[in-house]
Amino acid sequence: MRTVLNRLFVQPTNNSMLQLLRYCFVGGIAFLVDAGGLYVMTEYAGMYYLLSATISFIAGLAVNYMLCTAWIFRKSKLANRWAEFIIYAIIGVVGLGLNALFMYLLTDCMHIYYMFSKIITALLVMLWNFFARKIILYK
């Protein structure tokens, strides 16, 4: 059992399925930062939900980047960390656009409660982010 857990969560890997599993775990942590920030800023600070969704998404993206580069994607296709971060950020900006679009469509157009919209949106954007980053940036 210890060997399995070690392989799943500790040893470096290039296996896409293991990376996706780890990415889901990291994504869960980033989602807590994102959704928690969205809720607090919308409910307690009185911010418009699309503005708080943008700010909280950026906070979640920062957490995601730090954890991903330290734990999941240790081998970049790029030697330059700044270039890697810029491409990571561009993928994140596309994800931010998708986040805003899906939040708007689900909340304003389909009249779904914004926190439920966030759950659906987070899953879709997580898949975009993982596969874009895996294909473009990492070995």
Cα–Cα distance, 139 to 130 (Å, whole number): 13
Q: Are 85 and 65 in contact (CB under 8 A)?
A: yes
Query: Residue 48, Cβ neighbours under 10 Å: how many?
Result: 10
The tens digit of pLDDT for each residue in 15-35 reads 888 888 998 999 899 999 999
Q: What is the model's pLDDT at position 115?
A: 95
- pLDDT tens by residue, 63-118: 988 898 888 887 788 888 888 888 988 998 899 899 999 999 999 999 999 999 99
- Does residue 139 surpass a pLDDT of 80? no
Burial of 27 (0-12, 13-18, 19+ CB in 10 A): buried
